[in-house]
Chains A and B, each alone.
Chain A
Amino acid sequence: MRNERDMTTNSAFRTPHSALEVSFTLNGTPTTVSVPDSERLLDTLRYRLGLTGAKEGCAEGECGACTVWLDGLPANSCLVPIYQVRGRRVNTVEALDPAAVAPLLDAGATQCGACTPGVVMTALWILQHPDVLATHTVRELMAGNLCRCTGYDGIVDGIEAARP
């Protein structure tokens, strides 16, 4: 089957590229990095800037474990080439107010925690944009973040409890 890839082809055809200087606003702070031009935002955050909250769960935009906010919108950072971030705003889980996650903790929204930073980024975005709840359910809005532990009830209940 053509759409089914060889097991290690993820990035297999990357070739060395020249370094690229990229400036963007990271969690409110102007930031400049010099990186290979093929690098993904996820790798820049994790391996160059030490922001390891975002995780690689699938590297193809399915699981949402790498979710960050790009110009205020949730985005899979595994699918964002670093050059696309030039001049934009990136917010990561590390910059969140810990008090905002209390309802999620109370509801049992985290178990193993590997999906959790991504879940939190989407969940808090929903809570900051309650207008989307007029047209979509929490379950629809969270469907881009896979969780294998909770069965989603803890996540959905936590968001519902925190709704304004």
Chain B
Amino acid sequence: MKRGPPSTGAAVQRREGLAKLTGRERYVDDLPLEDFLWGMTVRSPPPSPRGSITAIRFGRDVDWSQFVVVDHRDLPGPNVVYLIEQDQPVLAAGVVRHVHEPVLLLAHPDRDALRRAVHAVEVVVEPEAPVLDFRLPSRSDEIQYGPDNVLKHLRIEKGDVARALAQAPVVVEGEYETGAQEHVYLETQGMIAALEGEVLVIRGSMQCPYYVLNALKHALARDETRLRVIQTPTGGGFGGKEEFPSHLALHAALLALKAGRAVKMIYDRGEDMAATTKRHPARVRHRTGLTRDGRLLAQDIEVLLDGGAYVTLSPVVLSRGLIHAAGPYFCENVRIDGRAVFTNAVPFGAFRGFGAPQTLFACERHMDVIARTLGMDPALLRRVNLIRDGQSTATGQVINDGSDRVAVLERALDVSGWREKRRAHAAFNAARAPVRRGLGLATFYHGGGFTGGGEVYLKSRLQVAGLPDGRIEVRSANIEMGQGTLTVFTQIAADRLGLAPDAVVIAEADTARVPNSGPTVASRTTMVVGRLVERACDDLRRRLGLSESARGDSVRAALRDWHRAHPDQSLVGEVVYEKPPGINWDDATYRGDAYGAFAWAAYVAEVEVDLRTCAVRVTDFVAVQDIGKVINEILARGQVQGGVVQGIGWALMEECKWQDGAMVNNQLTNYIIPTSDDVPPIRVAFLETPYPHGAQGAKGLGELPIDGPAPAILNAIAEATGADPRTIPLTPERLMTIAEFGMRNAE
């Protein structure tokens, strides 16, 4: 019999895969629930993003005695959703700062009656001057935050940018804009709250059970012993279920506490798209000094983010955006200045990439603008400037990870057929057919784990318990939302102790049962938390009195022996995060090692542009990355393919239409995401240069793939058409308005 096969790198099947494929997986709206009320939200209406609530009128056609009604006065604790800054109310109390702000909560056993009741409430808002364009300076009557509506200002400085720019033989400037993006997780936000004895139990779709627990603890003024948060199988997150579920959990909890019954709240797609967070819109300006042969001398970068109407996670989104803004290049003189500004838009929040996709779009599109200015091959420009081991990033982090970034680039060029295709396309386009072809490149990087001292601050804890039957149980708060946590943790633990994958149990992410191993965000789960799984396995082995090399049968036997000797006792290996040696960050000066490790990538997009319709079709896509170690190839490839397609959507078709600071195309009929027929196969290749402090050598992967597609695609469009697009989403309508393109089109 085959025993304890090492599962490293092997394509171990997704653990919950069969349940998902046969419809047996139970998401929050699928759970059997008896005697409950549906809950819904009454929100502040357009057209007044900002103002005072002067009246709330309940329609006469509704028998309100049948409804549970909650407003801000029902909060037992402070009216804030606990996060970085305590500025966002659970329910609006007198003032609103954006359209769709939650004002009242209603509950009723009949969902249709509830929908009619929501529409029978009129919230009257006396308007004040709103800020709706983050790019314009605020007038005095628009100031709502600090002296200038700036939520956060950060600066990274290295060398002497002013002097280097003044002396540079070539200076290239550019301005780039990126739009908001909606997550479109296929499962909308949903939550159930119920009192079980004295304990308020929350079950729902979420990335961060302990964020939800914290938010409940503060706003409900309820101690942790009377709170329990259980993550249900989560149908996609992409950051959209990082901070927002705290709001929904509080809303469901308030209704359940007032009703004395279980309450279920499930957003329909329209409400989910209109009222929840999105990717921050951004404007990035570059001023770059170079030698005539393309060596970077100075990078002067200015980043502006639309922060929306509350702080949410904007300061840390800005931070990650700035740290990635200079790209994976070496430059001695760098200045990155960034601001997130308050507007009266529905708040923006976490979205896969977390600021980096915006700044890397600008950086990588700008590299091609530079290449065109210098008359240089875009691949050569990047090869000349890619950071080498021993050189430092903008924050002064010396890169020494052994990864060969030029090899990553070369591999992408080889796999995509860069040189041959560029020649072939030039010949094809010279025939002046109505369809033009182009190839575009982006080289980029993504830091895994929390920024700077974030992981130290989190103090993540994780347990691996030894069970009496010889199996082990991994207890972490890190959740499965499709990205593969259950499978990868299984492999990591099985490999560490030489057990078969089915001897590993992953505990449900239930705050009553698992320690706080931190949020499931920031590409940290495999790299950082996976390493905790390994160390907790080691701790378990120590507690069993086994040597470090003990694996397989000896571990299983020791587990059974221990439990025979200690009946009814539990055996738990437990670890707390420890900062890897040699990693130092100074938050005051924004200098130092911003991340434990960066993953490196080079993506190549091929496009066809129809000059008659301005329709762009991505015809080939090659994604090459060094992620340290591929733990499960099918899962890793799936992360890249999914991220790339989400990036194709952001680049070409996903446009949030705004009115009064709220999304008005809040339905899948007119917010277009890619279908299977809109995208080509995504060709993926991995290089592996192990990171010694990541599980099995792994670096973070989840966010990396959304950083590269947009610039690669726009660079390809520029190559195909001669146009100079600077803004995404580059819809056909937008492409048609680009002047140079129109001129060329008319030739």
B673 within 8 A of A: yes
Given contacts A57-B186, A148-B673, A151-B641, contact A110 B17 (CB under 8 A): yes
Q: Which of B21, B26, B115, B657 contacts A110 (CB 8 A)?
A: B21
Contact residues, B1-51 vs A (CB, 8 A): 11, 13-14, 16-27, 29-30, 32, 40, 43
Q: Which of B20, B29, B115, B676 contacts A156 (CB 8 A)?
A: B676
Interface contact B270-A5, CB-CB below 8 Å: yes
Q: Which residues of A contact B271 (CB under 8 A)?
A: 7-8
Interface contact B638-A8, CB-CB below 8 Å: no
The secondary-structure label for the interface of chain A is loop
A sample of 6 more A-B contacts (CB under 8 A), given A53-B22, A105-B13, is: A52-B27, A110-B482, A112-B187, A113-B235, A143-B675, A148-B238
Q: Which of B90-98, B496-504, B677-685 is near enough to bind chain A?
A: B677-685
| Chain B nearest Cβ from A76, distance in angstroms | 12
Q: Which residues of A contact B19 (CB under 8 A)?
A: 113
Interface contact B637-A112, CB-CB below 8 Å: no
Q: Give the residue name and chain of the A residue nearest to B662 (CB).
A: A7
Q: Which residues of B contact A111 (CB under 8 A)?
A: 236, 482-484, 638, 642
Contact residues, A58-77 vs B (CB, 8 A): 58-60, 62-63, 65
Interface contact A50-B115, CB-CB below 8 Å: no
| Chain B nearest Cβ from A115, distance in angstroms | 5
- In the bound complex, what is the Cα–Cα distance between A105 and B634 (angstroms)? 10
B268 within 8 A of A: yes
Q: Which of A18-26, A82-90, A94-102 is near enough to bind chain B?
A: A94-102
Interface contact A52-B115, CB-CB below 8 Å: no
Q: Give the residue name and chain of the B residue nearest to A52 (CB).
A: B30
- In the bound complex, what is the Cα–Cα distance between A6 and B664 (angstroms)? 8
Q: Which residues of B contact A12 (CB under 8 A)?
A: 115-116, 118-119
Interface contact B641-A113, CB-CB below 8 Å: no
Q: Which of A4, A94, A96, A144 contacts B657 (CB 8 A)?
A: A4
Interface contact B23-A59, CB-CB below 8 Å: no
Q: Give the residue name and chain of the A residue nearest to B22 (CB).
A: A98
- In the bound complex, what is the Cα–Cα distance between A147 and B641 (angstroms)? 12
The contact string, 1 if C-beta is below 8 Å from chain B, for chain A 33-62, is 000101000000010001111111111101
Q: Which residues of B contact A7 (CB under 8 A)?
A: 43, 100, 270-271, 273-275, 666
Interface contact B268-A8, CB-CB below 8 Å: yes
| Chain B nearest Cβ from A114, distance in angstroms | 3
Given contacts A12-B116, A140-B677, contact A65 B186 (CB under 8 A): yes
Interface contact B642-A150, CB-CB below 8 Å: yes
| Chain A nearest Cβ from B206, distance in angstroms | 13
Interface contact A113-B118, CB-CB below 8 Å: no
Q: Which of B115, B640, B667 contacts A14 (CB 8 A)?
A: B115
Interface contact A60-B185, CB-CB below 8 Å: no
Interface contact B21-A55, CB-CB below 8 Å: no
Interface contact A63-B186, CB-CB below 8 Å: yes
Q: Which residues of A contact B670 (CB under 8 A)?
A: 3-4
Given contacts A4-B666, A104-B21, contact A148 B269 (CB under 8 A): no
| Chain A nearest Cβ from B519, distance in angstroms | 17
| Chain A nearest Cβ from B248, distance in angstroms | 15
User: How many chain B residues touch A (Cβ–Cβ < 8 Å)?
Assistant: 78
Interface contact B676-A142, CB-CB below 8 Å: yes
Interface contact B657-A112, CB-CB below 8 Å: no
- In the bound complex, what is the Cα–Cα distance between A156 and B674 (angstroms)? 14
- In the bound complex, what is the Cα–Cα distance between A151 and B287 (angstroms)? 35
In this complex, the member of A109, A116, A145 whose beta carbon has the largest number of chain B beta carbons within 10 angstroms is: A116
B255 within 8 A of A: no
Interface contact A58-B269, CB-CB below 8 Å: yes
B745 within 8 A of A: no
Interface contact A114-B682, CB-CB below 8 Å: no
Q: Give the residue name and chain of the A residue nearest to B638 (CB).
A: A108
- In the bound complex, what is the Cα–Cα distance between A3 and B664 (angstroms)? 10
Q: Which residues of A contact B233 (CB under 8 A)?
A: 113
Interface contact B668-A63, CB-CB below 8 Å: yes
B112 within 8 A of A: yes
Given contacts A12-B119, A59-B269, A101-B18, contact A151 B682 (CB under 8 A): yes
| Chain B nearest Cβ from A120, distance in angstroms | 6
Contact residues, B230-268 vs A (CB, 8 A): 233-238, 268
Q: Which of A52, A108, A112, A151 contacts B481 (CB 8 A)?
A: A112
- In the bound complex, what is the Cα–Cα distance between A6 and B40 (angstroms)? 15
B350 within 8 A of A: no
Q: What are 29 pairs between A and B in contact, CB < 8 Å? A: A1-B664, A8-B268, A9-B270, A14-B112, A15-B116, A38-B112, A46-B30, A53-B23, A63-B186, A65-B186, A94-B22, A104-B21, A106-B13, A108-B638, A110-B17, A110-B20, A111-B484, A111-B638, A113-B21, A113-B482, A114-B235, A114-B236, A117-B23, A142-B675, A143-B678, A145-B676, A148-B184, A152-B679, A156-B676
Interface contact A114-B27, CB-CB below 8 Å: yes
| Chain B nearest Cβ from A138, distance in angstroms | 8
Interface contact A52-B16, CB-CB below 8 Å: no
Interface contact B186-A115, CB-CB below 8 Å: yes
Interface contact B21-A120, CB-CB below 8 Å: yes
Q: Which residues of B contact A1 (CB under 8 A)?
A: 657, 664-665
Given contacts A112-B185, A112-B187, A146-B675, contact A8 B641 (CB under 8 A): no
| Chain B nearest Cβ from A66, distance in angstroms | 11
Q: Which of B234, B236, B635, B676 contacts A148 (CB 8 A)?
A: B236
B525 within 8 A of A: no
- In the bound complex, what is the Cα–Cα distance between A75 and B646 (angstroms)? 26
B140 within 8 A of A: no
| Chain A nearest Cβ from B598, distance in angstroms | 23
B305 within 8 A of A: no
Interface contact B676-A105, CB-CB below 8 Å: no
Q: Which residues of A contact B183 (CB under 8 A)?
A: 148
Q: Which residues of A contact B483 (CB under 8 A)?
A: 111
Q: Which of B26, B32, B118 contacts A8 (CB 8 A)?
A: B118
| Chain A nearest Cβ from B643, distance in angstroms | 8
The contact string, 1 if C-beta is below 8 Å from chain A, for chain B 625-642, is 000000000110110111
B644 within 8 A of A: yes
Given contacts A98-B22, A149-B638, contact A112 B482 (CB under 8 A): yes
Q: Give the residue name and chain of the A residue nearest to B665 (CB).
A: A4
Interface contact A114-B186, CB-CB below 8 Å: yes
| Chain B nearest Cβ from A141, distance in angstroms | 8
| Chain A nearest Cβ from B19, distance in angstroms | 8
Q: Give the residue name and chain of the A residue nearest to B648 (CB).
A: A151
A10 within 8 A of B: yes
A11 within 8 A of B: yes
Interface contact B185-A109, CB-CB below 8 Å: no
Q: Which residues of A contact B681 (CB under 8 A)?
A: 153, 156
Q: Which of A65, A104, A153 contacts B682 (CB 8 A)?
A: A153
- In the bound complex, what is the Cα–Cα distance between A4 and B237 (angstroms)? 25
- In the bound complex, what is the Cα–Cα distance between A11 and B119 (angstroms)? 11
Interface contact A11-B23, CB-CB below 8 Å: no
| Chain B nearest Cβ from A42, distance in angstroms | 11
Given contacts A4-B666, A52-B30, A105-B14, contact A10 B270 (CB under 8 A): yes
B569 within 8 A of A: no
B225 within 8 A of A: no
- In the bound complex, what is the Cα–Cα distance between A11 and B38 (angstroms)? 15
Q: Which of B26, B30, B113, B668 contacts A62 (CB 8 A)?
A: B668
Q: Which residues of A contact B105 (CB under 8 A)?
A: none
- In the bound complex, what is the Cα–Cα distance between A54 and B484 (angstroms)? 22
- In the bound complex, what is the Cα–Cα distance between A8 and B275 (angstroms)? 11
- In the bound complex, what is the Cα–Cα distance between A64 and B523 (angstroms)? 29
The contact string, 1 if C-beta is below 8 Å from chain B, for chain A 117-161, is 100100000000000000001111011111111111111100000
Interface contact B268-A59, CB-CB below 8 Å: yes
The contact string, 1 if C-beta is below 8 Å from chain A, for chain B 649-668, is 00000000100000011111
